[in-house]
Amino acid sequence: MNPSTPTTRWRAWPRSPRPSRLGVASLVALLSATGLVLVPAPASAATGTLAFNPGTLAFGSVRVGTGSQAQSITVQNTDANNSVTISSVSIEGLNPNDFVAQTDCVGTIIGTGAQSPKTLGPNETCSVAVKSVPIAVGGRSAQVSVKSDGSEPDKRATVSATGTEGYYLAGQFGEVQAFGDAVDHGDATGVDLNAPIVDMATTQTNGDGYWLLGLDGGVFSYNAKFFGSTGGMPLNQPVVAMSAVPLTDNLRGDGYWFVALDGGVFAYGEAAFKGSMGGKPLNEPVIGMVATPSGNGYWLVASDGGIFAFGDAGYFGSMGGKPLNEPIAGMAAMPDGSGYWLVALDGGIFAFGNAPYKGSTGGIALKADIVDMWPSPTGNGYWLAASDGEVFNFGDAPHLGDLGGGAVDDAIALAGTAPPLSPYSEGPRVAF
């Protein structure tokens, strides 16, 4: 092993209670389960002196739900005659959960993941590698703190980043409009379509690519891999919705599912077929689907709010058999799969399981029907899109622009760029 390669990965606990966020709570619980805690060494006599190079790390803009490239801080014992013992390394400050690191400045207690003291001889160095993994939009900052038995107080380096989010709107003629940090990679407006576009999905590795889905099951890929389609194949019923494979310890986000009106499911790439409603009686047609965060299941939703759960998708309730003012138009799920929302054409929201109700457009005089919804990466908010391109935001989902006001009348789908802050994606997200 290269001696300069950091060998201990850690993440600091926040020093004081923080507002509850599903994503943060899930990640902290995961780290707690692995026993990654700090074990400071007893204080000893003052000896060497530590210096940081550089003293600050600026990561710039980083998409929420993803991880930046790592940057390193060199820690040096600048004393030419005396050794210094480093007892612990931690992340502290305003946003300690938005940064992760690994270091060879301390040892690891085998079997616990806890830190053990390590001594630097005169002029010797070690390093701390840091990544930004923002959990919210806007400025994020913290400090890398190194405790030692040296003559100075704890040594600290400042780390900072700006969390960003975005979303895309798609139209039935293949149009795509980007907002926030979403990057326009093209659309299908110049394509002679055999069938109108009915849905879109963003890549779950980093949100920097997307697919458009046609009514005939044709798939158009933009900065995203093509894994197959039903374009040109005979179908029992038209295709209506799609969902992308998530990024997990076992999945690379390479694939997608889509579903037809009769509940028939088509799986491509890493997407695993877990069952369907094809050939089974339905009270109303299926109009949407959402994959579970593990990628080992999915939900289907019918226009009457009936829910069909497959694989590891949990059933938390439905609107099937209950009176609705308007049919259901879309669905979204919590980042950890513990609940879901349904949205109706009038923007009425129905929350099940742990999905929090954050507001709706039900009761508001809309200029156009709601056609789709997308959850914020934390699960503490969501966006709704209307067919005229207007976007409504609730909870911690920021409004980043829209096409409302009569500019369009054929919007059919909304898809966000920030992957969910899911415990299933924590490993790949923080990996160095």
pLDDT, tens digit, for every residue of 194-208?
A: 999 999 999 999 999
Same domain for 140 and 191: no
pLDDT, tens digit, for every residue of 384-426?
A: 999 999 999 999 999 999 998 777 889 999 999 999 999 999 9
Residue 208 lies in a domain: yes
Same domain for 43 and 78: yes
Same domain for 288 and 267: yes
Chain-centre distance for alpha carbon 253:
12
Same domain for 392 and 278: yes
> Of 44-53, 85-94, 257-266, 316-325, where does mean pLDDT reach its minimum?
44-53
Boundary-marking domain end, from 147, 163, 179? 163
pLDDT reported for residue 47: 57
Same domain for 174 and 155: no
Paired with 157 in beta bridges are 144
> Does 18 score more than 60 pLDDT?
no
Boundary-marking domain end, from 132, 163, 194? 163
419 vs 205: CA distance, rounded Å: 7
> Does 42 score more than 50 pLDDT?
no
pLDDT reported for residue 104: 96
Q: What is the dihedral of CA 180, 181, 184, 185, to 10 degrees?
A: -160
pLDDT reported for residue 407: 73
CATH number at residue 327: 2.130.10.10
Residue 2 lies in a domain: no
pLDDT reported for residue 27: 40
Same domain for 192 and 137: no
> Does 177 score more than 60 pLDDT?
yes
Domain hosting 91: range is: 8-163
Sheet of 381-386, strand order: 370-375, 381-386, 391-395
Confidence class for position 2, pLDDT limits 50, 70, 90:
very low
Q: What does the mean pLDDT of the chain come to?
A: 90
84 vs 99: CA distance, rounded Å: 26
Say if CB 82 and CB 47 are below 8 A apart.
yes
423 cis-preceded (ω within 30 degrees of 0) = no
Same domain for 379 and 255: yes
221 vs 306: CA distance, rounded Å: 30
Residue 3 lies in a domain: no
> Coil, strand, or helix at residue 363?
coil
Any idea which residue has 């289907």 for tokens? 300
Same domain for 130 and 178: no
- Which tokens is 237 given? 């019923």
Residue 180 lies in a domain: yes
**What is the rounded average pLDDT of the residues 171-187?**
97
CATH number at residue 151: 2.60.40.10
pLDDT reported for residue 152: 74
pLDDT reported for residue 254: 98
Same domain for 389 and 278: yes
Paired with 421 in beta bridges are none
Better pLDDT: 372 or 6: 372
> Does 360 score more than 70 pLDDT?
yes
- Which tokens is 8 given? 């201990």
Contacts of 23 (CB under 8 A, 6+ apart): 135, 335, 377, 378, 379, 420, 421, 422
Confidence class for position 363, pLDDT limits 50, 70, 90:
confident
Alpha-carbon dihedral sign for residues 398, 374, 335, 20: positive
pLDDT, tens digit, for every residue of 66-83?
A: 999 999 999 999 999 999
E-strand ranges in 261-348 read 265-269, 286-291, 297-302, 307-311, 328-333, 339-344
> Does 4 score more than 70 pLDDT?
no
Residue of 86, 89, 85 lying closest to 157 (CA atoms): 89
**What is the rounded average pLDDT of the residues 289-309?**
98
Boundary-marking domain end, from 163, 184, 217? 163
